[in-house]
Structure 1
Amino acid sequence: MSGGARIRRSWWHVELQFCGDTIQTRMSRWFPQRLHVGYTRSMLAALWLQPAPRRIGIVGLGGGSQAKFCHRHLPQARIEAVESDPDVIALRGVFHVPMDDERMQVECADGAAWLRTRRGCFDLLLVDAYDVHGIPPALSTQDFYDDCRAALTANGVMAGNLYNTDTRRHLVRLRRSFDGRVLKLDEPGMSNKVVVAWNGSPQPEPVAMTLSRLPWGARGQLRAGFRRLAKAWEGQASR
């Protein structure tokens, strides 16, 4: 992520903004571990299809909301994140992003090039990289989405945030890369679209059962997203 990121503080929130009014991350000062922005909760609805990932990849660290959530609530998982802007990585302390250890690693690199070196690595891949102009061209190509699929394990799941972009063009490429195994979720009250794609043939449990296997602090944050994804899943199956 790049494009003139800056910090804005208020009594309630700390925000990572681009030049202008585009907000990349909003963190509650009192509950810094919560997923405050709706589309991040929708992206992590992908856990309904892969509820116990051992290795998680994140393209676009930003303010680290999803990295923090996974680090806190998925203790079995190792998290590897890539961020192209060193100034953003330098702010990880401001946003309470855990420092590198045996479970967490953040690299400063080009996301597309980084992903090409991660074949068959991730049970869960989160792609949330954009700047004030939208999604960078290198993260919008057919080759990139082919690499997303190749970076997943045999039963891996990917979630992506489509912001300020031609959603139809991305969906065409995703469906080509994943042989049609793609669902789109419109984010209520926001311009973001969330896409979920997967390898293999998931057999998801009922939402309530999957939620019950997650820590208590994660359930309320993910319940609505799980239900929306389950509804989209059932709608696709009925066609």
Structure 2
Amino acid sequence: MSEAPQAPARAGLLRTWRKLELTFTDDTVQTRMSRWAPYRLVLPYTRSMLAAFWLQPRPECIGLIGVGGGAQLKFCHRYLRSTRLEAVEADPQVLALRDAFAIPRDDARLEITLGDGADWIGSRAGRYDLLLLDAYDADGIPPALCTPQFYADCRAALREGGVLALNLYQVPMAEHLAQLRELFDGLVLLLPEPDLRNQVVFAWNSRRTPGTPDAALAGLAWSARRQLRPSMLRLQAAWQERAWRFS
């Protein structure tokens, strides 16, 4: 007899006068939001993931697997006014907190779906310039979102020149990097997060020589540039150490 599946960690809301946090039953924090600046990227790994704009500065369409408290989604919706955003979230408890976290309503540029991320991405071949994978709970990333088939579907969902940015949380890092390097012909770069269990990984489907971070940030509001520039500089430094592999 097979064992009964473990119940998923329940999402909860922690509110103080300064911040809101999306937490799980073991006090794992998935999202932290400033109540006075809800579009600010508070957790460092979210800024690192959006350093992907250095590799793909002008995405027309962004896919997001995992909404959570909507930090990256809100940032993109606010600052990338000509970019379409399509997101999927598997947990109805999380989506029920949408208003609490000031996540915008669906509109002409934004569509959020309640559903399974693995099924969702499998039907979106050639759709995204940038794909953000940030789906985890207290137990880590759901198994269905870190299989070779899932990663292959993510690659297939990218347009030419597309970039995948992943938050790998509590997974066997060497195993996942090996899968990604095989699928993306070695075009994979790890950007560790100091003092966090999050590890951000970038993968892209064609060789390139990125410009400067300042060029990638041109056209964004000052508040957006200020948040992303330090992470872009970190990504640029990591790239330059291995540039011979990527250009």
Does TM, normalized by the shorter one, top 0.5? Answer: yes
CA distance in 2, matches of 1:210, 1:124: 14
Q: C-alpha offsets along residues 141-173 of structure 1, whole Å, 9 cap, x if unaligned?
A: 111111111000011111000111111111111
CA distance in 2, matches of 1:238, 1:175: 15
CA distance in 1, matches of 2:196, 2:226: 20
Counterparts in 2 of 1:24-173, with a 5 A limit?
A: 24-173=30-179
CA distance in 1, matches of 2:222, 2:162: 24
How many residues end up aligned between the 2 structures?
238
One-letter identity of the residue aligned with 1:54: E
Q: Which residue of 1 aligns with 2:202?
A: 196
1:7 paired to 2:13: yes
Q: Between the two proteins, what is the percent identity of the paired residues? A: 54
Q: 212, 225, 242: which one pairs with 1:236? A: 242
Q: C-alpha offsets along residues 72-121 of structure 1, whole Å, 9 cap, x if unaligned?
A: 01111000000001111111110011111110010011000100000000
Residue aligned with 1:102, SS: coil
Please, what TM-score do these two structures have when normalized by structure 2? 0.94
Residue aligned with 2:241, SS: helix
Runs of at least 5 residues in structure 1 that lack an aligned partner in the other structure: none
CA distance in 2, matches of 1:4, 1:88: 9
From the superposition, tell whether residues 61 and 189 of structure 1 become closer, same or farther in structure 2 (CA, over 3 Å).
same
One-letter identity of the residue aligned with 1:150: A
Q: Which residue of 1 aligns with 2:192?
A: 186
How far did residue 3 of structure 1 move?
1.9
| Greater Rg by CA | 2
Residue aligned with 1:81, SS: strand
Please, what TM-score do these two structures have when normalized by structure 1? 0.97
Residue aligned with 2:242, SS: helix
One-letter identity of the residue aligned with 1:27: M
Residue aligned with 1:194, SS: strand
CA distance in 2, matches of 1:199, 1:215: 28
How far did residue 238 of structure 1 move?
4.3
CA distance in 2, matches of 1:126, 1:135: 14
Comparing 84-93 with 37-46, greater Cα deviation is found at 84-93
